[in-house]
Structure 1
């Protein structure tokens, strides 16, 4: 099982935020998805910016977070808005 820290885009600070939220493996991150995982990190009290959302999506897809920010930004922001509107913030 791959640890979250072994994933692309996930550095020590991101690893700490994920661990605080109970997300310590690729399997858990994939199970949740980037948006729910990001919200779980925020609920756990981490001061996470949207860069973490890009990094999480990139880790799941195996692409750099910069590419996610360029190519997936709008769809992720809409998904985040929908997720939060549905009471999952």
Structure 2
């Protein structure tokens, strides 16, 4: 598979796989920018959010339906965390 950013260079499947860099969008870079260490999200929330974005952004070129199911699983885990958070604040 060819690297989408460098036509004459083989793809770096470990450090820069093409399925994380579609249409000039770097999924890892996006997550680092929008979920910095000092943010208001817990590690678990950031993990689930990142996985939802990762799996939905690559499903057509990598895992198909299985990646959508993985995204759904991670979204449900994020919803569970939010429900627990609401309950502990007396909101749910």
TM-score interval (norm. to shorter): 0.3 to 0.5
Tell which has more relative contact order, 1 or 2 (C-alpha 8 A, sep 6+): 1
Q: Which structure is larger by alpha-carbon Rg, 1 or 2?
A: 2
With normalisation by structure 1, the TM-score equals 0.38
Higher helix share: 1
With normalisation by structure 2, the TM-score equals 0.37
